[in-house]
Amino acid sequence: GQSLEQPSEVTAVEGAIVQINCTYQTSGFYGLSWYQQHDGGAPTFLSYNALDGLEETGRFSSFLSRSDSYGYLLLQELQMKDSASYFCAVRDRGTGRRALTFGSGTRLQVQP
C-alpha cells in the first residue's frame, strides 16, 4: 500500500513563497504528482516528477528526492487565487494500478 504525509494547513501573504512538503511510502513508485483543488471544485493537475530534481512550470515548481521518499511543491509570487487545497499523490507500481492515492491535503490560505 501507500501512505503520504503533508501538512494540514499553511498560511502565507501575497507575493511570498511557500513550500508544501510531502513524504510518501509506497511498495513501488511511478512518480509524485501534485493537484490543486479550490473549495467545491475539482482537483486539477499541477505537476509530476518521475525523476529526482526540480520541475518548473511558471510560478509553480515541484521537487522530488526518491532516496528520501520526499517531494515538495513550491509556489512563488503568491496570489489570492492560490488559496486552495494542494494534494500530493502517487500510484501503486506494485499493483500496476492506474488510480491515484492522495495525501490528506494541505490547505493554503493566502492573506493580503
Partner 1 sequence: AAGVIQSPRHLIKEKRETATLKCYPIPRHDTVYWYQQGPGQDPQFLISFYEKMQSDKGSIPDRFSAQQFSDYHSELNMSSLELGDSALYFCASSLGDAGQASYNEQFFGPGTRLTVL
Q: Shortest approach of partner 1 to residue 56 CB, angstroms?
A: 17
Shorter beta-carbon distance to partner 1: residue 16 or 54: 54
Closest Cα partner for 59 from 14, 105, 10, 4?
A: 14
Is 6 within 8 Å of 21 (Cβ atoms)? yes
Residue 70 Cβ, how far from partner 1 at the closest point, in Å?
17
Do residues 36 and 97 touch, judged by C-beta distance below 8 A? no
Residue with smaller CB distance to partner 1, 16 or 45: 45
CA 11, CA 20: separation in Å to the nearest integer? 11
| Smaller CB separation from partner 1, 17 or 41 | 41
Which residue, 78 or 89, is less far from partner 1 as judged by CB? Answer: 89
Residues within the interface to partner 1 (CB under 8 A): 30-31, 33, 41-45, 48, 50, 87, 89, 91, 95, 97-105
To partner 1, the closest distance from the beta carbon of 14 in angstroms equals 25
Q: Which cell goes with 69?
A: 521518499
